[in-house]
């Protein structure tokens, strides 16, 4: 399956789940929407869950979300902290 360059969340969900072939994705482009909206739905023997993330774009790079940048900074912070027992 081929994913567009702007579908990194869909690719991450596919990799975390059952893979690209078993993952259904619907990308919607709407010029009136001011946030990145990701709605994730999953179902299986465990039951079903749905959640939605509405992210703001980076002011200097509208193709990237502020949440992604903050996640990277948070991970770097975690990696550089000393281990506490």
pTM check: above 0.75: no
Tell me how far apart the alpha carbons of residues 29 and 85 are, in angstroms, rounded to a whole number. 48
Look at residue 1 and tell me whether its pLDDT is greater than 70: no
If residue 36 lies in a helix (H) or strand (E), which one and from where to where?
A: strand 36-44
Question: Which entry of 3, 11, 20, 38 is annotated as an active-site residue?
Answer: 38
Q: Taking Cα atoms as reference points, which of 19, 25, 22, 56 lies closest to residue 39?
A: 25
Catalytic status, residue 32? no
Confidence at residue 72, expressed as pLDDT on a 0 to 100 scale: 86
Rounded CA gap, 24 and 6, in Å? 16
Q: What is the pLDDT of residue 6?
A: 63
Q: What are phi and psi of 65, to 5 degrees?
A: -90, 150
Dist. CA 75–CA 77, nearest whole Å: 5
**Span 18-37, pLDDT tens digits:** 999 999 988 888 888 888 88
């Amino acid at each position: 399956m081929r994913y567009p360059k702007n579908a990194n969340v869909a690719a991450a969900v596919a990799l975390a789940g059952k893979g690209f072939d078993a993952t259904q994705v619907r990308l919607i482009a709407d010029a009136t929407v001011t946030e990145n909206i990701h709605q994730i739905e999953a179902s299986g023997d465990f039951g079903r869950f749905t959640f939605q993330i509405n992210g703001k774009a980076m002011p200097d790079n509208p193709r990237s979300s502020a949440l992604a940048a903050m996640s990277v900074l948070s991970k770097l912070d975690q990696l550089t902290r000393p281990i506490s027992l």
